[in-house]
Structure 1
Amino acid sequence: MEEELKVIVFKLGSEEYGIEVEKVQTIERMMPITRVPKTFSFVKGVINLRGVVIPVIDLRGRFSLPETEYTDQTRIVIVAVGDMQVGFIVDAANDVIDIKSSAIDSPPEVVGGVKARYLRGVAKLENERLLIMLNLHEVLNKSEVVQLESVEG
């Protein structure tokens, strides 16, 4: 029996990305973000979500994509990486799908301007649809996670 992954689909611009459901804790509407000094430009600050302070990253900024205005569709996807929680600002998040693990190919060097090390692979779906699977451990590489952990305190 082939392994199936449940994946949350979100959009940045015209590209669709996926994160495994078990790594996603919640998807929230945009909310006030408190700026934090001396952090990377793509770190937008922190939010207080039900009493937990969570650092928030703009994925567009992280991937060096042009930033855009937030809309009614903008979401903060709260993911767990190791023992910390991080929010990713995305243009929209509105789908959960099942993907066969065999549908995921290794990533090309650059997809939609996003460097391959941030990617786990690219899944081919029906209707020529491509879904870019994120490698969360690289999106939050160690030195940045350490810096974010100091933000949480």
Structure 2
Amino acid sequence: QEVSNLPKEIKGLMSLRGEVIPVSDTGVMLHGKPLDVNEQSKVLLFELNGQMVGCLVSDAKDIIDIELSEIKPFHMNTKASEYFFGVVERENKMILQVDPNKFLGRIEDLDQLPARLKEELA
């Protein structure tokens, strides 16, 4: 069933354990163009204000534990930098820490989307 008037950042919907979850496209959100979906694409799930939201990413290699003491301040002068709150260095790689509240919070009417989806998809 088609869903009308989704925010431009929402790639689509997924169902997980009976819950309809909006999935954002990080390519649109960070670079203004959609990500190519392929075998490496993943959906990362976040809980934001009590609701699940997915983020489509081009790849996710691992889930790692990070101590707060490892996170260093992140300073970069780009539009996207407002969504990152820190950086961690592991095995000579820099891992940016995303603030999901800022990143996903910019999607217009995201908090109202689950209720609207349930109504439209019923």
State if a TM-score over 0.5 links the two structures. yes
Bin the TM-score by the shorter chain. Answer: 0.7 to 0.9
Amino acid at match of 2:97: M
State the alpha-carbon separation in 1 of the partners of residues 71 and 5 from structure 2.
37
With 56-65 and 83-92 compared, the bigger mean Cα shift is at 56-65
Identity of aligned residues (%): 26
Is 2:28–2:34's contact at 8 Å kept on the other side of the alignment? yes
From the two aligned structures, give the one with the greater helix fraction. 2
Query: CA deviation digits over 1:40-85, x for unaligned, max 9?
Result: 2121121222311111101111112543321111111122112100
Amino acid at match of 2:48: V
Backbone CA RMSD of aligned residues: 2.3
State the alpha-carbon separation in 2 of the partners of residues 126 and 39 from structure 1.
40
Query: Higher RCO, 1 or 2 (CA under 8 Å, sep at least 6)?
Result: 1
Residue number in structure 2 paired with 1:64: 31
Q: Tell me the SS of whatever aligns to 1:115.
A: helix
Find out whether 1:130 has 2:94 as its counterpart: yes
Q: How does 1:19-38 map to 2 (within 5 A)?
A: 36-38=3-5
Q: Runs of 5+ in structure 2 lacking a partner?
A: none
Give the TM-score of the pair, scaled to structure 2. 0.78
